[in-house]
Structure 1
Amino acid sequence: MVEIESRARAPRTRWGSAPAVSAAVWPVIGLVALVAAWWLATSATSLVHPAVLPPPGEVLAAFLHRPEELLTGTWITTRETVLGFLLATAGGVLLGIALATSRTTDRMFSPLLVALNAVPKITFAPLLVIALDYGQKPILTMVVLLSFFPVVLATTTGLTSTPNDLVELTRSLDASRWQTFVKVRFPIALPQMFVGLKVAMPLAAIGAVIGEFYAGDEGGLGYAILQYSGVADGATAWAAILLVGILSIILYYALVLVERLMLPWVRETTSAR
């Protein structure tokens, strides 16, 4: 019996430090493999025309040629992404709470939200420029439009998924609806809400870039992509595209870190890796 238990526990001891190693090693391996495939496709085999996808060396040279401009654009896009995401989070959580706590509100606005989410948001871009002029306002509005729905859906789903036995327990303790919400429903909904936030974060970056395509007047990565797209300087446009990807990765894992700090009990009580 002792031998069986020791064998059962051996893999956990053996691989106990594997997640920490994997977190650092596997992304690097994946990045090296991606760059190698990129180089083979553009330089060694010429499967892709350089006008469509320049070689990695040209993209790096383009970044080194305009580092200040691209880094300034990265800061502008980061600011717009984070601010729009925070606005979408605040509004989405409030509306999700309203939908979860009121059946009438749910019936009134859920179909409208589904219809709004089904419309391609890029169709709103020219209208936003006409209504709000160029600048930050239409860009932030585009960010909110793209990232709002996942937050609402995740909040509503989380708040309406409270186990019945916990609700009955709070009623037996004569807890008010507010106490039940604060002590039971909202904490239980937080893991689901973070799922929606992690879906919304990359969408916020996409919204910022789309907004900069149409309404950017002070730079930004979307403005740089639009400005340098073409045969003459496509490498700079690709450098800006890669910076958008890097920005999205950083913001996403910053949100994952916030989730782990706020909800340490999730990893302890579930089978999360």
Structure 2
Amino acid sequence: MVAALAAVAAFWQVVVWLFQPPRFILPGPIAVVSALVEQRQYLGVNASITLIEILLGLAFGALAGIIIALLVAAIPAFRHVVWPLLLVLQALPVFAIAPLLVLWFGFGLASKVVMASLIIFFPVASAFADGLQRTNRDLLDVASLTQATPLATLLLVRVPSALPSLGSGLRVAAVFAPIGAVIGEWVGSSRGLGFVMLQANARMQTETMFAALMILAALTVILRFLVDALTRRLTPWAPQT
């Protein structure tokens, strides 16, 4: 990965040297790194705010997705009544509901966390619910022979079998989480990396905007790596391909 990033940065710098575009259109990687160093305190403070929004959104969204998936598996009627409504909600464009969330929850932390949670919720709920529905039939037959209750079968057989699917949903959610936080900051905020990008774009400080994008990309990669490591540790029996 390091070699690939170095190759991209080198190609980027060569393009800037050869074509010499205006700096407000395409700054070189050296200018972006200089902006990172010179504005490290400003960028660091705003990055920490966005990181808090991402982590809270991931936690609440994943928890809501897990609960909904369990209800879908435990109560068949719930799947037929509530699940279609959730599909409709997921089909709505994120930008369409972002202004409403800012209006309802304000310009502070809450609206960004709700936005991130909504984006994260459905991948987790969908993957976990699918895993619960696809429990090995032999395991269910063994559970029925022991006269286990439906709740015991769900918690002791179906949930452990569905943990790899939950891990897949969490890995997808880890990539989507920053999107929700930044969209919320674009719609209405006075801090965060999304706010930094808007301000830099308005002032044609393109190198600052690229620096914020690089920090956001780094946060996303690190979060994805941590979630992947956690899910692998929680499901050591799951085959890795």
Task: Answer yes or no: same fold by TM over 0.5.
Answer: yes
1:16 maps to none
Specify the code of the residue in structure 1 equivalent to 2:237.
W
1:255 maps to 227
Q: How far 1:230 sits from its partner (Å)?
A: 4.5
Specify the code of the residue in structure 2 equivalent to 1:116.
L
Please report the TM-score for the alignment, with normalisation by the length of structure 1.
0.84
Specify the code of the residue in structure 2 equivalent to 1:179.
A
Count of aligned positions: 241
Paired residue for 2:212, among 231, 240, 254? 240
Specify the code of the residue in structure 2 equivalent to 1:107.
H
Bigger-Rg structure (1/2): 1
Q: How far 1:49 sits from its partner (Å)?
A: 5.3
1:42 maps to 16
2:26 maps to 53
Counterpart-to-counterpart distance in 2, 1:82 and 1:225: 20
Pairwise CA RMSD: 1.5
Paired residue for 2:82, among 109, 118, 140? 109
Q: Where has structure 1 moved over 2 Å in runs of 4 or more?
A: 40-46, 48-53
Specify the code of the residue in structure 1 equivalent to 2:162.
A
Paired residue for 2:61, among 61, 73, 88? 88
Q: How far 1:263 sits from its partner (Å)?
A: 1.4
Whether the aligned pair in 1 keeps the contact of 2:74 and 2:151 (CA below 8 Å) is no
Q: How does 1:75-224 map to 2 (within 5 A)?
A: 75-217=48-190, 219-224=191-196
- Secondary structure at 1:264 match in 2: coil
- Structure 1 gap ranges (5+): 1-26
Greater shift in the superposed pair: 31-40 or 148-157? 31-40
Structure with more relative contact order (C-alpha pairs < 8 Å, separation 6 or more): 2
Q: How far 1:45 sits from its partner (Å)?
A: 3.9
Specify the code of the residue in structure 2 equivalent to 1:76.
I
Percent identity of equivalent pairs: 32
Please report the TM-score for the alignment, with normalisation by the length of structure 2.
0.95
Q: Note the alpha carbon deviations across 1:141-181, whole angstroms, 9 max, x for none.
A: 11111111101101110100001111011101112222212
Whether the aligned pair in 1 keeps the contact of 2:120 and 2:176 (CA below 8 Å) is yes
Specify the code of the residue in structure 1 equivalent to 2:5.
L
Specify the code of the residue in structure 2 equivalent to 1:175.
A
Q: Note the alpha carbon deviations across 1:122-158, whole angstroms, 9 max, x for none.
A: 1112112222221011111111111111011011101
Specify the code of the residue in structure 2 equivalent to 1:225.
M
- Secondary structure at 1:232 match in 2: coil
Specify the code of the residue in structure 1 equivalent to 2:159.
F
Q: How far 1:37 sits from its partner (Å)?
A: 2.4
Whether the aligned pair in 1 keeps the contact of 2:62 and 2:170 (CA below 8 Å) is yes
